[in-house]
Structures are given as C-alpha cells and as structure tokens.
Homo-oligomer: A and B are copies of this chain.
Amino acid sequence: MRFVAEIDIMPLPNLLDPQGKTVRNTLHSLQYSNVIDVRIGKHITLSLEADSEDQAKQMVKDISEKVLINPIVQYYTFTLKEAE
C-alpha cells in the first residue's frame, strides 16, 4: 500500500523565528498591519510504501525524528493518508 504523509516542521514556540519576524515586518510596511505573528517552517510531502497504516505511521515518525528535525529547535506534526 502506498501512503502520503504531510509533515510540518516548525520552530519551537518559545524560540525566536527571525525569518518569520522579517516577513511580519515586511507585511506591516505593506499595510497589512493586522498581521499579528508569522512563523515559518518546512512542509514535507513524503510518499512511501508500507504494509499497513500503523507501519507507515511508525516509519514517518522514525524518519522525522532521526533525519528531518532537530529536536533542540524544532517540532513536527504530520497527517497520513492512503494514496489514491
């Protein structure tokens, strides 16, 4: 079975996000002064083969924690669905 995981990798909430702050300031200078906060991270779409949804989920967790994120400064969330 083929699955597609949509993974979001974001800076931890208590960390500064200079890139997000810069975008927020740019938006303010462009009259979008009602923007309160901007935080910028990565979005990863990962397609994989697995025998079951549980196996796919475990694999996405493994890959995220061992390869994709740096847990000192980032956290991740993901959704998984079977590919059409």
CA distance A46 to B40 in the complex (A): 9
Closest to A7 in B: B43
User: A-side binding surface: helix, strand, loop or mixed?
Assistant: strand
CA distance A48 to B25 in the complex (A): 13
- By a beta-carbon cutoff of 8 Å, the part of chain A in contact with chain B is 2, 6, 8-10, 20, 23, 26-27, 30, 32, 34-50, 59, 62-63, 66-68
The residue that A44 contacts in the complex, of B36, B38, B50, B66, with Cβ under 8 A, is: B38
Contact status B45-A59, CB under 8 Å: no
Closest to A51 in B: B34
Residues of B within 8 A of A68 (CB): 23
The residue that A26 contacts in the complex, of B32, B36, B67, with Cβ under 8 A, is: B67
